[in-house]
Structure 1
Amino acid sequence: MNDQLIKGYFKGLDVAFTYAVTTNAVNGIVLRHNCDPAAAHILGRAVTGALLSAAILPEGQRINVCWKYRGVLRTIIVDAGQDGTVRGFIAPPQLDLEEDNMDKLYGDLGDLQVVTSQTGKILNSGTAPVPLHDVAKDLAYYHCISDQVETGLNVMIGFNADPENPVRFCQGWMIQALPETDVERFDRLRRRMESPAFRELLSREADCEVLACLLTAEEADFSGLHRNVGPAPKFICPCNRDKMEAVVRTLPIPERMELVQKKEDVVILCQFCNKRYELTIDDCITAWNLKSDAGTP
């Protein structure tokens, strides 16, 4: 199945939904960062959760989601746009877990920060503690607590025994309460998303309407599915040499002087795509002078 993103709402129930197939995008990101199975599982679910959340944004907006934990797992950052573009990384990419120990993996209470932006301008941001030791559930918890929007989110990922094509499938489903939602009914839908039947269906190729029917089968007021097809998820990293020169321009004067004295090249590695940028000391001096020139009346 090709990657896809569909959003809409359940007619008669005042509940919005988003459905995403992210297999190809996640596969590329996992390979790019050389993730071990545990890290690939976590990163793939985080990427999909962020894409589901970004899909409901107005056109041109993006979200940057940062999970911070205190166990072996330290950080996951995913940048996703309403246009389906996404990039992300996990630290460390090799978790080396020998046993299924959630406390060791996640540590104590974590933090999750979400920043919404448009054309580089921050529109809003929020941070919340996340206690659930699951990237998808922690993101849903954030939406409930910080955004004050009741949310259910489920992401399933499976793997091949093939290091060149490790991700067999990855897809996710999110529901959010609209203003007139019946809270008890929404809770019923959210619980059904955690049922073995729904999770099994989400673990294989399934049409969006089949998933929706399973959730709404017992809801008498359900009168159909309104759906819109959005841009397909795809990995894109907008890093470039100009942006790396901008990073160099943030160095304080003492560090610049030290670089000049040592005549060392500056090497910058993009954390999202692992592209390596090398700037000679002459490149750095040119970048610093450009900043000075820009500030001259």
Structure 2
Amino acid sequence: MKGASGSAQGQSPPPSPSDYLIRGTAAEGKIRVVSVVSTQAVREARERHKLSYVATVALGRAMSAALLLAADLKEPQARVSLQIRGDGPLGGIHVDAGVDGTVRGYVSNPAIELPLTPESKLDVGQAVGRYGYLHIVRDLGYGQPYTSTVELVSGEVGDDVSYYLTSSEQIPSAVLLGVNLDSQRVRAAAGVLVQLLPGAPASLISEMEARLTQVGEFSPRLARGEGLRELLEIWLGDLDLTLVPERLPVRFHCPCNSERVKGALRLLGRDELMDMIQTDKGAEVVCQFCNKVYYFSEDELRSLVAEMSASQ
């Protein structure tokens, strides 16, 4: 199922609640439902990376998708890495999300912009590319991470994640992702994942896709102030929808810090660090995920080299 998107002009949106994720079941426990509001996180990603309109929608969809995928992990430190590498001008999309509700991400070419589609939509599929791969890495918090790769279906992100879950995970799934923009800001970003549980008839997934399609555009309704729980009730309320009362807070978070960056510099080796000292008189390191810049003076690099030498 394609993720909804749009570029809406007009009055300022109503205040957005804090981002959160909710879980539930429907159809007498035959359907698993996970939904997330990621508006603030996508806003922060757009501001940090200076994203174009189409790059914002592509990355926003991927951030919501990664949060939905991470929701079924068990260990507190478990995480999901989602990477999309298509043949479009956007380049790669990289997202990291945790079962704790933290998410971060970036795209290779954040400034690209494309003409709208004939339906006046942002052309995410063209930006990402029709050909390429979706890579999912599930770090369960113990043992070796589980890695899976599938070919892109459309580059629209929602279709691609749904295909991954159905073909690689063998779980019939429907995914709806949406990011709504105006000329100044992200008005709403969200996602819904519906999956069949063991014993459920396969025909249910087609019904879920039809229901999500008939509701109309997802993120514009959230931008107008409709609540996530209310929308889920509209879609699934007649199927005995039961939502867990607790919300999992969601936020943009990158764990990078000066000590971690120093650790990365150590991996370069003393010769490379000495070359930085002599050629650049210091170092500038940019975190790809959050775009934070770390500066290290010539003296700081010399001190790092001395520490490395002393530890040998």
Q: Does the pair score TM above 0.5?
A: yes
Q: Normalised by the size of structure 2, how large is the TM-score?
A: 0.82
Determine the structure 1 residue equivalent to 2:154.
132
How much has 1:276 moved relative to structure 2?
0.8
Could you give the per-residue CA deviations for residues 160-204 of structure 1, whole angstroms, max 9, x where no partner exists?
A: 332xxx011112111112112211112211232223536475664
Q: CA RMSD in A?
A: 2.6
Asked if 1:191 is matched to 2:213, the reply is: no
Determine the structure 2 residue equivalent to 1:167.
186
Give me the whole-angstrom Cα distance separating, in 1, the residues matched to 2:258 and 2:292: 10
How much has 1:59 moved relative to structure 2?
3.6
Determine the structure 2 residue equivalent to 1:277.
294
State the secondary structure of the residue aligned to 1:272.
Answer: coil
- Choose 19-28 or 261-270, whichever is displaced more: 261-270
Determine the structure 2 residue equivalent to 1:19.
35
State the secondary structure of the residue aligned to 1:77.
Answer: strand
Determine the structure 2 residue equivalent to 1:48.
64
Could you give the per-residue CA deviations for residues 202-232 of structure 1, whole angstroms, max 9, x where no partner exists?
A: 66443444333433467xxx33414242321
Structure 2, gaps ≥5 residues long: 1-15, 118-122
Contact 1:264–1:280 (Cα < 8 Å) also in 2 = yes
How much has 1:143 moved relative to structure 2?
1.7
Identify which of 95, 109, 114 aligns with 2:131: 109
Determine the structure 1 residue equivalent to 2:6.
none
How much has 1:98 moved relative to structure 2?
3.1
Determine the structure 2 residue equivalent to 1:214.
234
The 1:140–1:290 alpha-carbon spacing in structure 2 relative to 1, beyond 3 Å, is farther
Contact 2:270–2:305 (Cα < 8 Å) also in 1 = no
The 1:286–1:194 alpha-carbon spacing in structure 2 relative to 1, beyond 3 Å, is farther
- Choose 134-143 or 111-120, whichever is displaced more: 111-120
Matches within 5 A, 1:60-99: 60=76, 61-99=78-116
Contact 1:111–1:130 (Cα < 8 Å) also in 2 = yes
Identify which of 178, 182, 188 aligns with 2:201: 182
How much has 1:27 moved relative to structure 2?
1.0
The 1:121–1:74 alpha-carbon spacing in structure 2 relative to 1, beyond 3 Å, is farther
Give me the whole-angstrom Cα distance separating, in 2, the residues matched to 1:93 and 1:188: 36
Contact 2:102–2:251 (Cα < 8 Å) also in 1 = yes
Structure 1, gaps ≥5 residues long: none
1:212 maps to amino acid: L
Contact 1:51–1:80 (Cα < 8 Å) also in 2 = yes
The 1:122–1:93 alpha-carbon spacing in structure 2 relative to 1, beyond 3 Å, is farther
How much has 1:260 moved relative to structure 2?
4.4
Contact 1:156–1:202 (Cα < 8 Å) also in 2 = no
Q: Normalised by the size of structure 1, how large is the TM-score?
A: 0.86
**When the two structures are aligned, how many residues end up with a matched partner?**
289
- Choose 228-237 or 117-126, whichever is displaced more: 117-126
Contact 1:50–1:63 (Cα < 8 Å) also in 2 = yes
Contact 2:73–2:99 (Cα < 8 Å) also in 1 = yes
Contact 2:126–2:155 (Cα < 8 Å) also in 1 = no
State the secondary structure of the residue aligned to 1:249.
Answer: helix
Give me the whole-angstrom Cα distance separating, in 2, the residues matched to 1:238 and 1:282: 25
Contact 2:222–2:228 (Cα < 8 Å) also in 1 = no
2:101 maps to amino acid: G
The 1:38–1:208 alpha-carbon spacing in structure 2 relative to 1, beyond 3 Å, is closer
Determine the structure 2 residue equivalent to 1:142.
164
The 1:51–1:180 alpha-carbon spacing in structure 2 relative to 1, beyond 3 Å, is same
State the secondary structure of the residue aligned to 1:176.
Answer: strand
The 1:116–1:173 alpha-carbon spacing in structure 2 relative to 1, beyond 3 Å, is same
Could you give the per-residue CA deviations for residues 120-179 of structure 1, whole angstroms, max 9, x where no partner exists?
A: 9753222221121211221222122222222211112212332xxx01111211111211
State the secondary structure of the residue aligned to 1:115.
Answer: strand
Give me the whole-angstrom Cα distance separating, in 2, the residues matched to 1:251 and 1:229: 45
